[in-house]
Structure 1
Amino acid sequence: MTTTHITNPSTGLAGIRERLWAALAARDEEEAAAAVFDACDTGTPLEDVLLDVIGPVQARVGREWAAGRLSVAQEHAVTAIQDRVIAALAHRTAPRPAVGRAVRRRDGAPVHRVTIACVDGEWHALPARLLAEVLRGRGFDVDYLGAQVPTPHLIAHLHQTGTDVVALSSSLPVRLPSAHAAITAVQAVGLPVLVGGAAFGPDGRYARLLGADGWAPDARAAATLLAGGLRRPEEPLPAPHHDLPHLPHLLDQEYTLVARTRVQLTHDVLTGLEDRVPAMSAYTERQRERTAEDIAHIVDFLAASLYTDDAELFTGFLTWTAGILQARGVPTGALLAALDLLADAQRDFPRARAHLAAGRRALTRVPRQPDPGTHA
């Protein structure tokens, strides 16, 4: 049994975050719940607890994983505790009186209900969960569908409910094609779409590219946008997915061909790396699996960058990956070799080769550690 204590308001949000982090690091769910309950009981608004305590602590979980200080299993365990704590908070806190009746959609209709879902293939559900609780706290009626919602199931749900606005969440840019399909399908049934999450870029550039009706950088901004009415900006947004003039680069089929050959590309690059990186001869089976996973992620992000025609999406992922691999003891040279092998396989794809070349240039600017012969 964990002994709980009441948080001193003077401790501030930083103190609450540290208490929650310590509880999560110890996998102490009771203490994690006590940390946030005590914060609410001593006057911290629920929305602040959700967005200024739980949200930043989850971001810290991600950084600890990236630095190699948390395993995937540990990260999942901590995230599960956070999700249960949010659920407990939701049941413990009475919702505010409905304000959604006064909110107007861009067509003038009132917003009574918001459906929130992660796009198909997106398993990072905590940001969407936080948005759901923030909106409930502000008096909106919320349908929260959770992680990884296939678009046909989302549309079937919308036909069966009285939803007024759909909010889609995605953390990984590799889900942007799925997000595009979902945005288009929802708009086809006459509903506006608000999107958010890291996948859409820090400035919402991919939200605009894919034709969303609105984008918000965080849950507070999303709630404010919905309260003010979700209207189209003065500058027209791109056309839906089935109309390609606004995405003419997709006509070259490079995205489609890279996405369809993902498995073969991963296999071929892995085989090629065995010749170019001598240290791989000593890899265990688990290390080979992790290397194959890393290559598959590179192919996925290359495909996403081709879909958006934005090489920065690819280079940003590569520089982030270089840091992750260095934390595992994998030299940047191995990543460069993988890009060269991919470029060889894309000799007939000029856009893919240009994105790979941009990625190579970005990696050469990453500080390189000496190769001690270590591996993933």
Structure 2
Amino acid sequence: MALRPRRAPRDLPGGQPDTRCRPSPVTSTRDLSNEHVGAAVGCARAPGSVSIRADLEAREAEYLAPYAARSRDSQGRLRAESEDPIRPAFQRDRDRIVHSKAFRRLKHKTQVFFAPTGDHYRTRLTHTLEVSQIARTVAKVLRLNDELTEAIALGHDLGHTPFGHAGESVLNALMPGGFSHYEQSLRIVDVLEQERRGLNLTWEVRDGIAKHSKGKDGAPIGIRPSLRAATLEGQVARVADLVAYVNHDIDDAARAGVLNTADLPDEAVEVLGRSSSERIGTLVADVVERTLETRPDIELRMSDEVLAALLDLRTFLFDAVYENQVATAEFKKAEGILGGLWERVRQEPEAFLDLRTVREEGIDAASRDFLAGMTDRFAVGLYERLFIPKPWARTTRL
């Protein structure tokens, strides 16, 4: 899905910064949706007739590094809208993502282990929160825009399927042209949320979401400019995603008995550390230190030794966990569930699918949106309702 930036005018005639207040169109607190909660109605002003939002934007300009993205310099949104009286653009995007239905569904979507019964296994939601924490830590030290970084991190996996990467593989095989979760994430924020109005996020957040994925072999840094996020904040979120999942998936696999931490590659452990905390600390410190060495022409960097150790751990995880027969045995069943649902919902599109999508984009797109949006338990429950016979209950006369 193409990213179409739209830059709103930011300066007044004569080149002076536009600090005029742009009041929200709402007229009372009853008009505020969830993502507006806490925002003042009208146009609150600080001394000097500058809006609260403009004051926050001025603080950004004063504190952030020259290479950081600034809210008031955003390339804009797909649809023009009034600015919030309090929140800068990237903070507003972060709030919209947190209050979205797709974000709430992440708590019931698989990270690695299907429908884990233990309380401490990661879900797609806890993974997202860990990515956000790591990304914000790096962004703060580099004096990047941490609200932009956080918005990208929180939105990067909204398009993930039920049953983790197994679900993505099923939809990739079923969908003409294939399926990728990052493209679906962008579709969710652009189209599907808010009854097909989308979240209307800024170009910078959308760009970061669209370019976060690395796959099995992709590097977190050092990639071609056309493939990496346009902002350093988006590039930080991409690195944080890999740092988070490599470490927490080791924890979960060890907890599940799928691997023993003693089996981790010795060289990687020697470089990064034995515990998850040590490894994350080493990785974050290395990214920050190597990146700061590139000033003033800043570029996100990692040392060769640390990057190699991180990629070794990822390769180990694919061999020992993600593609392990024991760990993925249940995913064969998950593939059957999604395959069965794909066929069934297409037989009765009026009962299951969004008919507007069917009319405008075809039944394949509507089926993809429906299945990709499911949680694990919703998919299992719907499959049981459609395919599993219910026990016959004989009624008796009174």
The structure richer in helix per residue is 1
TM-score, normalised with respect to structure 1: 0.31
Q: Which has the higher contact order (CA 8 A, sep 6+)?
A: 2
The structure richer in strand per residue is 1
TM-score, normalised with respect to structure 2: 0.30
